[in-house]
């Protein structure tokens, strides 16, 4: 009995969390499987993955340099944990299933290669040779191939599916760039025009191709056009045509192709998920079913169902469980059929906000005071619309005060007043509403308000204590207090209905954006690892007061007089993983990416452009479009 | 009879062209209405509108200066033509309908104001005073309010409908910018940081708001971040958060809102159009109907239907008409009911490609030669797949030759060879296919090939004739010949099936893009007129060899040392309508728009930013998103 209940629980919770694992159904395997899916185990996996990824902060080129033995030890621990997790998984599912699953093969591959690389690197370093930690580019792929990375795998699958269509459009686009470049070469090449820095204009075919690729991204507009425009106004036709065709039409085409595929694929995925969920619920039913009545109909009794629900959702209240049962067993038979049982999966997923009509704690303690006329007046006041308006007005006035100079004593004293008013608001609300309702899980804005106000209050108190104690003001504490103060203004958004709707949409698409964040992390990490190997130490940043020479050309004479150095981009380098990520973000934003590229090609070789163009294709053309497709679809569904 | 047939014709052609005009049904009005819809009349209206718009080329500040009396005369002629057209329209539709239609009111308003403005301006100029031709901003609105501007009105309606939702998102976005600006002011303002040109960094709230607005458009990334980044790496968090929230999330939201509205509205519009079309066909039926048979069923006879079709589509072939009838009257009764009659509207709209199985003209003239074995061999060869491959290879070799130096005699002689090969291809194809089929209207690529090759041939002949005659080579002719030569490469696209599909999609969404082009023209024209009044003559461009002083600061000392002048943007000015349009295009592309803005604010006042921010909101946030929504939807339907 306990075993069949365990099995049914596993099926139901797999259906709930859309897990798609064909585990062994032997009692022992089921117990192992339950352990495998325990939240602590899952959290541990992510802790190890994040630790493993974070090693890049300590490894050469490091943010915080640490001896190799330390990073190696941490990495070995992480890799061992991954191995243990995989062995656990192998014990849960049948052998033939295990070896057929590409994600397991990938996982083994990554872990093995990491061990090999680590050994080789350690040996090379011990012998004093040069070594490259090439397996670091594989690390983020663990995020994809881990059992829990379902959403991320789906995102990658959707990219893979869109890839053929994207590549057709991309080749046509590249063909167009090549043809336009040929025209540009012949139109401008022989006219002896000069660019703003005095170099010859449009005379080398491959330079033109790159320049026009950059123009497609708009990053060198209108500068690239100016010499031709200054020569003759008719030449602008060439550039206008180019921008209309390549920037607007092709770029919209890319979005359209991605969106089209995403939509098509999403529908198919949802269909598959629903099918798999139903299948699992049927399996759970067949485990728990009993013949009932004269017809021998297969049913599940309320008692069994209750036990199941208690195991699947331990935190569910009895009232909630009873409610669900009454929905399923609408004829009050005491047992349900297959159809109703399958439905119970969706019912269990619904978030029910249980409004307990309990009395306010103060009413229990001081019934006489709480029911007095004065108390009733407070209740009435807090619930009145004017209360909201008054506080909106206070926030607006506060906004003006925030804009003023905080060293003015009037302003800094007013801050205490505002804090008192906000605390009063929270206290009044807590007086009028049951605190358990006020701080219910879905009450986003109440939590937001309280945290912001209390944090600001604490910060202000600490700051003024420090000031009185030693006349010392911490800039950091002031900054943090200040940010809390400004965040209070965000509350205004909640007062305007239309804004609230937009914010709710944003909150709802949050989980999707999280998946997207992981996707971006994987791609950034890979490019950062490659970028660091290619460009580390080539461009240096010196503090403004540094006495070391070469500050004006980022410590590399090859950058003398370049736009990169002139714009003071020295800190945009690949000298550690954090600055690499910042450079990649700047490249994602696209603006000035050709200047960044020019800096790195100047200190290495012109072929370094490949790295940057590849990044542009992968991140801007593919991933950002996927992101927009994400948001478009989420918006169309939610808004 | 003739009158009722006329009336029915009008209804059917209104249904065909989606005209929605409630004309008077008196015979005289119907005749006037037929005249009103005549293609010559419609073309004339557009000629006058374009002339009226083109006046901006001649009016001060002019591309080609012309005396005021000349432009005024042309404008009076145009305005008179518009008045005549409107009077004609007033005679066609009932009075009460005429005065209820907002587009007529707008039209009268625009024409009247233009007359008034012209008079005042003439008087002021005659008296030697300063005058502004303010009514010029109204001119492009004629394109919208003219009877034929249905598509354009629909586009404007779709913008108007999306406007409330866009503005909610916009206000929330602006709120976010204001809050971020406040944080920036407090975080960076007191740290004494300096920008690259030595000015103080983030110390003025309104400057910060503008800078962060520009950052949302990505145009000043990463420059705006660098001083804070150089100070502390933690400050990049602020900018990353800002970009994620405002650039990515809000900008995607704008697209989502526009797309959402566009889709919703499009569906409604299509529903309305279908309804209106059916209504008109019913009206036409009721004009032509006769009672038939014992039941007195209302029917339309084939004879009447034939007369109607002849009037509606004069160019339709008898075979095509017979085919349509046989589809409608599938039981061969000789008359059709209301349902079939209403259907005939859609049937008439279908483009039927009539492949006349006529003999090749040469077969008629020289049957013996054309049927000979050699001739048959040529037929076989031309239709073989290898023929296509061989010519693709020739084009590829040609591409290499184009890339080489054309002054090399081998290359210039090879060009004659290539031209001969292309001419041979066309002649062979014409020999194998009926020329009437080869040059049928839908044979886009045949037309393309022939025009490109023949033009290149003519150009090359003229050029070599000029060279032999006087040793003189015209750079212009060479350029044009060269472009034709390169365009030949485009033919390769047609050989690859996937590319052909993409190109066909592009061709199909052509008409939609045309409407969009008009939309952009209207907005650009209005902004150009306002921009010219605000900024004309403030920034000058001098030819490189000019002896006039101030070349390095665009003739305006206020621009000394500014980025605008340093980047040699002097030709980006509002000194005539053509350069205004080019500046507006550059602003649409967004990159460096803050530098362009800084130039114009430097020579006028900081409030000139309003003009540029407004342009950004209208064109980039609204219209470009509408364009992307256009393409997304067109693509999802067509591809
Ligand atoms: Na840009």
Cβ B249–A506 below 8 Å, yes or no? yes
Asked if residue A412 is part of any domain, the answer here is yes
Task: List, edge to edge, every strand of the sheet that includes B297-301.
Answer: B290-292, B297-301, B335-336
Structure-block tokens of residue A64: 């915080």
Alpha-carbon distance A185 to nearest alpha carbon in chain B (angstroms): 8
B230/A568 touch (CB, cutoff 8 Å), yes or no: yes
Query: Are A132 and A200 within one domain?
Result: no
* pLDDT at position B480: 84
**Per the domain annotation, does B504 fall within a domain?**
no
* pLDDT tens string A287-309: 888 887 777 788 888 888 888 88
Closest residue of chain B to A406, computed from CA coordinates: B186
8 Å CB contact of B233 and A579: yes
Let me know: does B79 contact B117? Beta carbons within 8 Å.
Answer: no
Residue A181's pLDDT is 94
Are A220 and A594 in contact, with CB atoms under 8 Å apart? yes
Least confident of A433-442, A443-452, B306-315: A433-442
Q: What are phi and psi of A202, to 5 degrees?
A: 55, 50
Task: Looking at the structure, tell me whether residues A399 and A421 fall in a common domain.
Answer: yes
pLDDT band at A79 (very low <50, low <70, confident <90, very high): very high
Whether the pLDDT of residue A131 is over 90: the answer is: no
In this structure, the dihedral spanned by the alpha carbons of residues B596, B602, B604 and B605, taken in order and rounded to 10 degrees, is: 100
B353 pLDDT higher than 70: no
Whether the Cβ atoms of residue A589 and residue B218 lie closer than 8 Å to each other: yes
| Residue predicted with more confidence, A68 or B355 | A68
Of the candidates A220, A260, A590, which has its C-beta nearest B218's C-beta?
A: A590
Residue B624 has pLDDT above 80, yes or no: yes
Residue B392 vs residue A444, higher pLDDT: B392
Q: Domain total for chain A?
A: 5
Residue A636 — very low, low, confident or very high, per pLDDT cuts 50/70/90?
confident
Ligand 1 mean position, distance from CA A572 (Å): 18
Task: Report if residue B284 sits inside a domain.
Answer: no
Classify each residue of A296-307 as buried b or exposed e, where b means 16 or more C-beta atoms within 10 Å of its C-beta. Answer: eebbbbbebbeb
Confidence at residue B639, expressed as pLDDT on a 0 to 100 scale: 63
pLDDT value of position B355: 58
Q: Which residue of A has its CA nearest to B506?
A: A249
Q: Helix (H, G, I), strand (E, B), or coil: what is residue A242? A: helix
Contact B482 A171 (CB under 8 A): no
Domain that holds residue B326: 289-349
| Greater model confidence, B581 or A352 | B581
> What pLDDT sits at residue A97?
87
* d(CA A542, ligand 1 centre) in Å: 28
- The top-scoring range by mean pLDDT among A9-23, A549-563, B40-54 is B40-54
Query: In whole angstroms, how far apart are CA A416 and each of A176, A405, A413, A459?
Result: 64, 15, 5, 12
Please count the other Cβ atoms lying within 10 Å of the Cβ belonging to residue A472: 9
Task: Verify that B443 and B372 share a domain, yes or no.
Answer: yes
> Taking CB atoms and an 8 Å limit, are B571 and A229 in contact across chains?
yes
pLDDT for B131 equals 86
CB atoms within 10 A of CB B24: 16
Q: How far, in Å, is the centroid of ligand 1 from the Cα of B621? A: 15
The stretch A348-356 carries a mean pLDDT of 65
Those residues whose C-beta lies under 8 Å from the C-beta of residue A93, and which sit 6 or more positions away, are A21, A22, A23, A24, A29
What's the mean pLDDT in B156-166? 88
State pLDDT tens for residues A255-276. 988 888 888 887 888 888 889 9
The mean pLDDT value for B114-139 works out to 91
Final residue belonging to a domain, choices A315, A349, A383? A349
Give the number of other CB atoms < 10 A from CB of residue A364: 10
pLDDT at A483: 85
Q: Is the pLDDT of residue A73 over 90?
A: yes
- With respect to residue B485, please indicate whether it lies within any of the assigned structural domains: yes
Residue to mutate among A256, A263, A402, A456, with most B CBs inside 10 A, is: A256
Chain B residues within 8 A of A255 when measuring between CB atoms? 628, 632
Q: Are residues A36 and A138 in the same domain?
A: yes
Same domain, B570 and B471: no
pLDDT tens column, B522-546: 999 999 999 999 999 999 898 877 7
Structure confidence at residue A473 (pLDDT): 66
Phi, then psi, of B387 in degrees rounded to 5:
-55, -45
Of B104, B110, B115, nearest to B141 by C-alpha is B110
Whether the link from the prior residue into B67 is cis, omega within 30° of 0, is: no
* Residue A4 within any structural domain of the chain: no
Of A223, A240, A269, the position where a domain reaches its end is A269
For residues A370 and A301, membership in a common domain is answered with: no
Decide if B233 and A578 are in contact by the 8 Å CB cutoff. Answer: yes
Say yes or no: B248 and B190 in one domain.
yes
Mean pLDDT over B199-205 rounds to 91
User: Among the ranges A153-157, A235-239, A468-472, which has the highest mean pLDDT value?
Assistant: A235-239
- Min Cα–Cα distance to chain B from A149, Å: 23
Residue B131 near residue B125, CB atoms below 8 Å: yes
Question: Most B CBs within 10 Å: which of A589, A630, A639, as the mutation test of the B interface?
Answer: A589
Helices (H), A371-408: 373-383, 385-403
pLDDT band at B596 (very low <50, low <70, confident <90, very high): very high
Q: Inspect the interface and report whether the beta carbons of A635 and B579 lie closer than 8 Å.
A: no
Q: Give CA–CA dist A523/A140, Å, rounded.
A: 8
Q: What is the pLDDT of residues A514-528, one digit of tens each?
A: 888 999 999 999 999
Segment among A441-455, A612-626, B584-598 with least mean pLDDT = A441-455
In terms of Cα–Cα distance, which of B473, B317, B331, B319 is closest to B406? Answer: B473
Give kind and range of the element (H or E) at residue B298: strand B297-301
Which protein residues have their CB within 5 A of the ion that is ligand 1?
A 218, 591; B 218, 591
CATH of the domain at A185: 1.10.287
Residue in B with minimal Cα distance to A595: B222
Q: pLDDT tens across A359-391, in order?
A: 777 777 877 777 788 888 888 888 888 888 898
Nearest to B55 by CA among B1, B153, B121: B121
Give the angle A385-A387-A388 at the CA atoms, nearest 5°. Answer: 70
d(CA A551, CA A544): 8
Cβ distance of B233 and A569 shorter than 8 Å? no
Q: Which one is predicted more confidently, A309 or A141?
A: A141
Buried-state track B501-532, b at ≥16 Cβ within 10 A, e below 16: ebbebbeebeebbebbebbbebbbbbbbbbbb
B16 in a structural domain: no
Asked if residue B9 belongs to a domain, the reply is: no
Angstrom distance (rounded) from CA A461 to CA B151:
64
Asked if residue A85 is part of any domain, the answer here is: yes
Ranges assigned E (strand) in B436-497: none
Local structure of B335: helix, strand or coil: strand
Enumerate the residues of chain B whose CB falls inside 8 A of the CB of residue A616: none
DSSP letter (8 states) at residue B572: -
Token pair in block for residue B188: 């960076």
Residues A518 and A602 in one domain: yes
A445: domain CATH number is 1.20.120.350
Sign of dihedral through CA atoms B353, B354, B359, B360? negative
State whether B94 and B121 are in the same domain.
yes
pLDDT of A358: 66
Q: How far is B476 from chain A (nearest CA, A)?
A: 10
Please say if the pLDDT value at position B292 is more than 80.
no
**Which of these three, B206, B236, B269, is where a domain ends?**
B269
CA distance B47 to B81: 10
Is residue B554 scored above 80 in pLDDT?
Answer: yes
**Preferred mutation among A258, A586, A596, A599 to probe B, highest tally of B CBs within 10 A:** A586
Chain B residues within an 8 Å CB radius of A635: 252-253, 256-257, 260
Residues A336 and A405 in one domain: no
pLDDT at residue number A356: 58
CB A256 within 8 A of CB B639: yes
Give the mean pLDDT of chain B. Answer: 87
- 3-state DSSP call for residue B301? strand
Q: Quick check: A592 and B221 CB within 8 A?
A: yes
> A5 or A603: which carries more pLDDT confidence?
A603
* pLDDT value, residue A15: 87
Closest residue in chain A to residue B625, using alpha carbons only = A252
Q: Are residues B452 and B490 both part of a single domain?
A: yes
Nearest residue in A to B179, CA atom: A486
Position B485 scores a pLDDT of 83
Q: Percent of chain B at pLDDT above 90?
A: 35
Mean predicted confidence (pLDDT) in A440-467? 85
Q: Cβ of A182 and B399 within 8 Å?
A: yes
C-alpha B635/C-alpha A201 separation (Å) is 37
What pLDDT score does B352 carry? 62
B372 and B489 assigned to the same domain = yes
Q: Which residues of A touch B589 (CB under 8 A)?
A: 218, 221-222, 243, 247
- The token pair at A499 is 């804004």
């Amino acid at each position: 009995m306990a075993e069949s209940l365990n099995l049914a629980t596993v099926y139901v919770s797999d259906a709930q969390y859309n897990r798609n694992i064909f585990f062994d159904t032997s009692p022992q395997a089921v117990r192992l499987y339950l352990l495998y899916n325990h939240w602590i185990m899952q959290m541990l996996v992510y802790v190890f993955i994040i630790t493993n990824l974070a090693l890049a902060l300590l490894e050469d080129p490091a943010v915080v340099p640490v001896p190799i033995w330390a990073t190696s030890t941490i990495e070995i621990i992480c890799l061992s944990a991954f191995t243990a997790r995989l062995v656990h998984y192998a014990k849960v599912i049948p052998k033939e299933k295990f070896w057929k699953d590409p994600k397991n093969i990938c996982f083994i591959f990554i872990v093995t290669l990491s061990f090999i690389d680590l050994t080789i690197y350690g040996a090379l370093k011990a012998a004093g040779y040069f070594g490259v930690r090439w397996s670091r580019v594989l690390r983020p792929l663990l995020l994809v191939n881990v059992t829990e990375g379902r959403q991320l795998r789906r995102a990658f699958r959707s990219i893979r599916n869109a890839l053929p269509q994207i590549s057709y459009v991309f080749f046509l686009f590249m063909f167009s760039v090549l043809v336009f470049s040929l025209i540009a070469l012949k139109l401008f090449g022989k006219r002896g025009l000069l660019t703003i820095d005095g170099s010859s204009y449009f005379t080398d075919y491959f330079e033109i191709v790159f320049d026009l690729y950059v123009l497609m991204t708009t990053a060198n507009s209108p500068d690239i056009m100016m010499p031709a425009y200054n020569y003759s106004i008719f030449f602008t036709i060439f550039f206008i045509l180019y921008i209309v065709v390549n920037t607007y039409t092709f770029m919209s085409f890319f979005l359209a192709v991605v969106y089209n595929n995403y939509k098509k694929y999403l529908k198919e995925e949802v269909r598959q998920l629903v099918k798999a969920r139903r299948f699992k619920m049927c399996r759970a039913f067949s485990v728990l079913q009993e013949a009932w009545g004269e017809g021998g109909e297969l049913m599940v009794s309320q008692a069994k169902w209750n036990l199941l629900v208690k195991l699947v959702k331990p935190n569910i209240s009895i009232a909630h469980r009873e409610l669900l049962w009454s929905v399923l067993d609408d004829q009050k038979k005491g047992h349900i059929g297959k159809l109703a049982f399958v439905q119970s999966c969706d019912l269990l997923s619904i978030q029910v906000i249980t409004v307990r009509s309990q009395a306010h704690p103060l009413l229990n303690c001081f019934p006489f005071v709480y029911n007095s006329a004065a108390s009733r007046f407070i209740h009435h006041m807090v619930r009145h619309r004017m209360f909201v308006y008054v506080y909106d007005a206070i926030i607006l006035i506060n906004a003006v005060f925030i804009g003023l100079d905080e060293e003015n004593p009037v302003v800094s004293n007013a801050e205490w007043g505002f804090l008192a008013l906000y605390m009063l608001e929270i206290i009044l609300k807590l007086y009028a509403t049951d605190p358990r309702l006020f701080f219910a899980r879905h009450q986003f804005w109440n939590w937001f308000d309280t945290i912001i106000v209390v944090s600001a209050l604490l910060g202000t108190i600490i700051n003024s204590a420090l000031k009185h104690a030693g006349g010392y003001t911490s800039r950091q504490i002031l900054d943090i207090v200040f940010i809390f103060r400004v965040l209070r203004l965000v509350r205004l958004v909640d007062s305007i209905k239309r804004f609230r709707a937009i914010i709710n949409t944003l909150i709802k698409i949050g989980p999707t954006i999280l998946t997207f964040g992981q996707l971006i992390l994987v791609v950034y990490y890979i490019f950062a690892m490659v970028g660091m190997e290619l460009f580390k130490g080539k461009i240096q940043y010196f503090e403004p007061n540094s006495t070391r020479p070469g500050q004006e050309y980022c410590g590399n004479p090859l950058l003398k007089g370049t736009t990169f150095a002139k714009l003071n981009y020295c800190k945009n380098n690949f000298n550690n993983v954090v600055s690499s990520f910042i450079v990649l973000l700047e490249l994602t934003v696209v603006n000035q990416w050709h200047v960044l590229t020019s800096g790195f090609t100047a200190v290495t070789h012109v072929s370094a452009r490949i790295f940057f163009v590849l990044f542009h294709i992968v991140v801007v053309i593919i991933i950002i479009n996927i992101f927009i497709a994400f948001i478009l679809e989420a918006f169309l569904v939610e808004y």
